[in-house]
Amino acid sequence: MRYRVLGGTGIEVSVHCLGTMMFGAVGNPDHDDCVRIVHAALDQGINFVDTADMYSAGESEAIVGRALRGRRDEVVLATKVHFPMGKGPNRGGNSRRWIVREVEESLRRLDTDWIDLYQVHRPDHTTDVEETLGVLSDLVRAGKIRAFGCSTFPAEEIVESHHVAERRALGRFRTEQPPYSILARGIESAVLPVCQRYGMGVLVWSPLASGFLSGRYRPGRAVDLTAGRAALTPARFDPAIAGNAAKYAAVEELLALADEVGCTLPELAVAFTVAHPAVTSAIIGPRTMEQLEGLLKGAALTLNDAVLDRIDEIVPPGVNLYQPDGVWAPPVLTDPARRRRPLPDRAAA
């Protein structure tokens, strides 16, 4: 396993990062099996593990904490904060009040004294970014976290955060964790260039496009919309929906390309993401040992220019054939009142 420096932190991380979203009730409820997966990944040279407080309502963090007992110093440990962790107000978001409380809960579940990379899971339009950067800077000074980053932020929010950090003499986001795959290349237009400009590390999630690039979903083949990823978002996988035709067509071409290269489609998909000069690591999120072993087999795969050119022909640079799940949408798009003048003021005369 190769290692790259994570942004300007000086921390070296493996090019494959073990994602643990599928550990716990949402994916694999067998804690012993999940621990074995973590140990197998570490034994293969992975030293970067990513989780989040909200994965299976904290269960994933607890599993990771158990798996790292006796091996904590080997690992660059990342987790995230933002999504609600219970009912009622002030139980989520990016406020000082919530982050100060929730970091302690993550430390407890992870059974560790420090977190190497603490990430804000999504933007929060109700909290000034200065408030968020301020509390994260304080946590670094307190020794509870070593560095902090953001996840799934649009380019303009990343730029604003750096300007605020400079003006207010605060720590800055050292990393960004965006969705990126052959089918979702939108971040190539602005997010990745901005990260390069500010020297940020980038760890990308969903390189298999929510399972679409696993090779399981093919045109003309029945799709079980009641199980796995398809059960969570059936509209993304249903071949009867016209909007999915381009994804299925692309997958067929990519499968043929993988055959020419002599690899599997998942191996091709992950290798594509880490070939981009802005990307530090790709998060692989296996649910089973078999999935982990399959992904690790492709770790040494190098895609030459001819193969990358073919991928560009199938899905052009900067194009999203689908919108990844969980991408934050700004209120100016989700709240109609922000896009519409009061009725009496809408006419030109």
Contact yes or no for 149/132 (Cβ under 8 A)? no
| Catalytic (active site) residue 55 | yes
Query: One-letter amino acid identity for 279?
Result: V
The torsion angle over the Cα atoms of residues 235, 236, 238 and 242, rounded to 10 degrees, is 90
Q: Tell me how far CA of residue 270 lies from CA of 83, 195, 206, 244, 276, in angstroms.
A: 27, 20, 9, 22, 11
> Exactly one of 3, 55, 198, 248 is catalytic; which is it?
55
Tokens of 221: 């083949």
Q: At CB < 8 A and 24+ separation, what contacts does 215-224 make?
A: 215/251, 215/255, 215/264, 215/265, 215/266, 217/248, 217/251, 218/248, 218/251, 218/252, 218/255, 219/248, 219/249, 219/252
Tell me the CA distances in angstroms from 119 to 17, 63, 116, 173, 230, one per residue in order: 15, 19, 10, 9, 28
Q: How far is the first Cα of the chain from the last one, in angstroms, to the nearest whole number?
A: 66
Q: Which of 224, 228, 205 is nearest to 27 (CA)?
A: 228
- As a whole number of angstroms, the distance between CA 160 and CA 166 comes to 10
Active site residues: 55
